Amino acid sequence: MSKLQVHQLNQLREIFGRFDMNSDGNLTTLELAALLRSLGLKPSGDQVEVLLANMDSNGNGFVEFDELVSAMLLDIDAQELVNQEQLALRCVQVL
């Protein structure tokens, strides 16, 4: 499994933080849906719930930053992530 570089983790943390509306360290279904909509996607409520459930490794009903990173690492090569736009695009592709 590839590891992200520090600047890549920082970029992902920034994206995560933009959509963690209450800054509690978790993305709710609504926050995850907002992230996806901001990228031009229009998932149904059911699709967002399935996505969240697939990413929620600890079963608490939320996506935490570490869970997002783990989901990303399952499907990416760290060298692909050159800038924030590519990171966001890759995030959506994984999601």
Q: Quick check: is 57 in a domain? A: yes
pLDDT band for 28, please (50, 70, 90 cuts): very high
Amino acid 52: pLDDT: 93
Q: Quick check: is 79 in a domain? A: yes
Q: Quick check: is 23 in a domain? A: yes
Q: Quick check: is 22 in a domain? A: yes
Q: What is the pLDDT of residues 57-80, one digit of tens each?
A: 999 999 999 998 888 776 655 445
Q: Quick check: is 1 in a domain? A: no
- Return the H-helix or E-strand segment holding 17: helix 6-19
> Can you give the residue range of the structural domain that contains 73?
6-94
List the CATH number of the domain containing 83: 1.10.238.10
pLDDT band for 85, please (50, 70, 90 cuts): low
pTM: predicted TM-score of the whole model, two decimal places = 0.72
Q: Of all residues in the chain, what percent are helix, strand and coil, respectively (each to 5)? A: 60, 5, 35
Looking at the 3D structure of the chain, how many domains does it have? 1
